[in-house]
Amino acid sequence: MANLLEGFVETRNVSASGFREILDAIDQRITLLSHESALSTHEFVELTALYNNAAYILLYLDANSAHIEVDFLEHYREALGARRPRNDRLIALIKKVEVDSRELEVSKDAFLEFFEQKAGIEEKREADAVAELRRRGAVWRENLDREKSSFLARLGVNVGSSRPDAALYALLSGIESSDVRRRLGAAWRDICERHNDELCSLIDRLVAVRKESAAAQGDVSITERTLRYSQLDVATVRNFLDCSLQIARAEHEELENDLNERYGPGGVRAHFASRVALVRAKEAPTSVALEPCIKFALKIAHDHFGLDSCHVASAPEHMITYDIMRCGKRIGRINFDLWGEHLGRLTNTTQGLRNRTNWTDIIQEPVAHISCRFKKRPGQEPTINFQNAHSLLHEFGHALNHLLVTPRLPNLSGLEYLPLERLEILSMWFERWVFHPAFESALSVGSNKPVDLEKAREIKRLEYVRTHLERNVLAMLDFELHQGTAPISEVYAGIDQRYDIAELCPLSDVLPCFFWPILMERPSGYFCYLWAAASSAERFEKISKRSEKLEDTNVAWELEFRDCFEFDAPSEMPNIAALYRFYEKPNTNINPKDSL
């Protein structure tokens, strides 16, 4: 079992029949273990490693279906996932495994949860009901988009493959009359609010299904179930959201007043797109070379975490792969799979495809897979825009988190094991580097002229200022809705009564968000993104106060980010004001009269 499946990680040129042999061997070993009268701790760890590696191979093959014949995947998904008699035997065996550490206890609980969800009638009933409501939510969204598209068509705008909201944004950005923009913004809000009752009813039913399932499993509320994966209690989260929402409301009201003073009534809804267009000045989005962006991320990892990197030349053509080293020893691997637009990817993600294991002779190194949907221009050197660079650094932070997290058991991923409020801290800290002068310097190396990022940074800053209130209202609404018994319209009315937000952030702005994957997967947990944003901004301030040079910002970063790598480290309340300070004034030298 030494260095489990290391041959697969190294070669990548395994044939389809070779993959089947590996999966068959894994499947047979799992069956043998399931017939044991009892499992030792060592055999339990081996079992988790077998399942983790099988999942890794299946995901790898699925991502490379254009290059490898994969018609056998469904067979192995079924064999490894839903083989009921074997699963029942494994559940009984795992329940009897004696553990002597918190790490083993958490791993055992996670493994049992994985199997019991496949076997439990209540969990299946909840999953089926949620899937149906999710489908109805998608139909609702399609109908609303159709109505919005018809409205735009009457104005002579062909939406095409864009979303209607993006088409409206483009339209507003080119209209000179502030009064026309105001009337268009008001009409758009009317369209969105016309279907509030229907969507509220869907969301209330979704919450009811979850509450019924939570009660059947002994949980007081969905919030309680979600906070099992957190170190925070309800009071701490409430206090955090209250403080953050108050600051966000004041910030948004200032933005609203500035736009009204500049353009007349209509505020953010009518005039923000025009304001951004003024900053952009009809110039194309900033384009930067991809290779320096990746090397910049690797340099941050080197200078702040003592990590070296080595390019893997044998990686597939469509993928960029680096081994990550410490003191000359490889600690893991990162795959950059960036050109996924043609595959229909909707988001940029990082998956911990293979988890760390270091248990007696069961050893494997973690692998992280960064999957993005950037556009590739045939015949040109790979380039990405500023937003893509921001996303790339964010996903790199997730990948590094997966490689550096300390659990030694294979079913505890760096992207799953930590308390949920700390899952986004390192990734958000990395994304802030696009605002650091060292980023500009890195992109200019080997270039004929310095890379100008001023306008791109100012637009990004403005976009964050515009969305802070909406994110805070959504987090508060998500948290309170899943904790109590009131319908969503009443919960929102209560928030409005306390914070006076209805005109600045109407309910129709946040209702569709409840069908986002992140809110579907972790109801009541959206607050973690605000928590991580504040925590990462607070830590980044230490860099800004030290030096403009990357290598001169020497801090004990492993200690600084201990909570990103160790489960038992405390979750400390971040300095909320640091988040808003980061965006409160331009990070550029743009003329003050052109900035808000």
Those residues with Cβ within 8 angstroms of residue 123's Cβ, 6 or more apart along the chain or in another chain: 116, 117, 213
Is the pTM of the predicted complex or chain greater than 0.85?
A: no
pLDDT of residue 7: 43
pLDDT at 591 over 80: no
For the chain, the residue count is: 596
3-17, 159-173, 376-390, 545-559: segment of lowest average pLDDT: 3-17
Element (H, E) at 369: strand 367-371
pLDDT at 5 over 60: no
pLDDT tens track for 99-146: 877 777 877 887 787 676 544 555 667 778 888 998 898 899 899 999
- What integer is the mean pLDDT of 256-267? 94
Q: How far is it, in rounded angstroms, from Cα 286 to Cα 460?
A: 12
How far apart (Å, rounded) are the C-alpha atoms in residues 227 and 181?
Answer: 43
Q: Which residues pair with 370 in a beta bridge?
A: 336, 350
Mean pLDDT, rounded, of the chain:
83
Q: Pick the residue with more confidence: 299 or 10?
A: 299
The residue behind tokens 């004990």 is: 556
Mean of pLDDT values over 4-20: 52
Instruction: Say if CB 324 and CB 334 are below 8 A apart.
Output: yes
Of residues 63 and 267, which shows the higher confidence score? 267
Residue pLDDT, tens place only, 409-443: 656 555 666 888 998 999 999 999 999 989 988 88
164 vs 241: CA distance, rounded Å: 31
Which of 75-89, 107-121, 467-481 has the lowest average pLDDT? 107-121
The span from the CA of 65 to the CA of 69, in Å, is 6
Question: Between 212 and 117, where is the model more confident?
Answer: 212
Bridge partner list, 287: 385
Question: pLDDT tens for residues 284-317?
Answer: 778 888 999 999 999 999 999 999 999 998 766 7
* Residue-level pLDDT at 594: 41
- Interval 145-180: pLDDT, tens: 999 999 999 999 888 878 899 999 999 999 999 999
Least confident of 368-377, 484-493, 495-504, 536-545: 368-377
Give, rounded to a whole angstrom, the gap between the first and last alpha carbons of the chain: 60
